[in-house]
Structure 1
Amino acid sequence: MRLAILTTLALTAAVAAPIIAQQPPMAVPGSPNPASITGGTYTADPAHSMVKWTVNHLGFTPYTGIFGDVAGTLTLDPKNLSAAKVDVTIPVSKVTTASSGLTAHLLKPAAGGKADFFGASPADARFVSTGVVATGQSARVTGNLTLNGVTKPVTLDAKFFGAGKAPAMMGGKENVGFTATGTIRRSEFGVAYGIPIVSDAVQLDIIGAFQK
């Protein structure tokens, strides 16, 4: 019986192998070529956009958390990238870290005074660009960041990552993606708990995915 089963499996594999070998490999739909960008207004893809933040924890290690579910729009003209505009909101209430205890502390209600970090019902953060200086596939993006009720100018260094049309089984939409980096000082936004043993400087590493 065992021999019969093994023989059947071997025959099945022998028949299937040529069929599988004939299947063309699936091409990656996104391209790093800027010529693949099409103009128009894109909507943020909340499932694939995120803002990673990193602070220096006591001088021992970096510590990272993530804001996801980004919403908003990006307007692009491939022939005039310096005219690009971005307006996105980031739900601070959905912040997550590797520690459930720390995540809870970030959203802990104020106890008779000011919350240590964001508090129990933080408003969404928002970034609205005010200028873009494009150089090749990179750009310096200036804008206003509103966080914790405070609005300050912020500069981000952005890089084009890829663009193209998604497969039909994944919606068939035009996609474009960027990465960006920047640094803010959290004390300027009224989040000063733990400074200096937890750094004032916050490194931002951003993934922006947009569709239309």
Structure 2
Amino acid sequence: MRKILAASALALTALALGPVVAQDAPALPGAPDPARVQAGTYVMDPAHTQVAFTVNHFGFNNYVGLFGTPTGSLTIDPKQPEKASLTVKIPMNEVRTSSTKLDEHLKTPDFLDTAKYPTAKFVSTSIKVDGNEADITGNLTLHGVTRPVTIDAQFTGAGTHPMNKKLNIGFSGTTTIKRSDFGIDKFVPLVSDEVKLAITAAFEK
């Protein structure tokens, strides 16, 4: 009986406090509202932009790594989003995993060969927009090879950053590439040829 009374009291308290908590929750500065986007050129925020990669490791598990501090720009007009242009440069030396030794191995000629190919680059060539989603097709140059790639992108949000007072706009995206297409074929298929990429990108004006 005590358990029933205690559960009832807890439920009533939650119902009573629920509206109060909801009212006190602050609104986020960014929202996926196209009306918040101003036309112009936005510069990539390298501190809040990441490219994560996933490969299958010997069939045992899916292993994840990360590229950070990319640079680039986005030029966009919300009235004609399909005419937007995107350029991104990714420093290959910024590759990170949970293993320092693996980080160093990935930089060798076995894989990225960062001494010879220090930067990867993506330049958009066409954009198809469907509401807050878009297919961004462009040329990816990696390991000295250029191939067409399409990113499945989603508009995350836009608004004024409360700290630096700059207009911000953000997107997320996914795509899959074959590393052998770019001449990176060491240990295929033990380490998967297919590489899944997950991108989160922030820009400011």
Structure 2 stretches lacking a partner, 5+ long = 1-23
Q: Percent identity?
A: 50
- Does structure 1 residue 165 correspond to structure 2 residue 165? no
- Does structure 1 residue 119 correspond to structure 2 residue 113? yes
Q: Distance in 2 between matches of 1:209 and 1:52?
A: 15
TM-score, normalising length: structure 2? 0.85
The Cα shift of 1:27 comes to 3.1
Aligned 1:95-134 pairs, distance under 5 A: 95-108=95-108, 115-121=109-115, 122-134=117-129
**What is aligned with 1:187?**
180
Q: Distance in 1 between matches of 2:143 and 2:114?
A: 12
Q: Distance in 1 between matches of 2:57 and 2:152?
A: 24
Q: Moved runs in structure 1, 4+ residues, more than 2 A?
A: 24-27
Paired residue type of 1:182? T
Contact kept, 8 Å, 1:163 with 1:175, in 2: the verdict is yes
- Does structure 1 residue 39 correspond to structure 2 residue 52? no
The Cα shift of 1:77 comes to 0.6
Change in CA separation of 1:120 and 1:143 when aligned onto 2, cut-off 3 Å: closer
Aligned 1:1-212 pairs, distance under 5 A: 26-108=26-108, 115-121=109-115, 122-167=117-162, 170-212=163-205
* Structure with larger Rg: 1
What are the Cα deviations for residues 114-150 of structure 1, in whole angstroms up to 9, with x where unaligned?
Answer: x101225232100000000000100001000000111
RMSD, matched Cα: 1.4
SS at match of 2:46: coil
The Cα shift of 1:25 comes to 5.7
Paired residue type of 2:161? A
Structure 1 stretches lacking a partner, 5+ long = 1-23, 109-114
Contact kept, 8 Å, 1:45 with 1:210, in 2: the verdict is yes
What are the Cα deviations for residues 175-210 of structure 1, in whole angstroms up to 9, with x where unaligned?
Answer: 000001001000011110110011000001001100
TM-score, normalising length: structure 1? 0.83
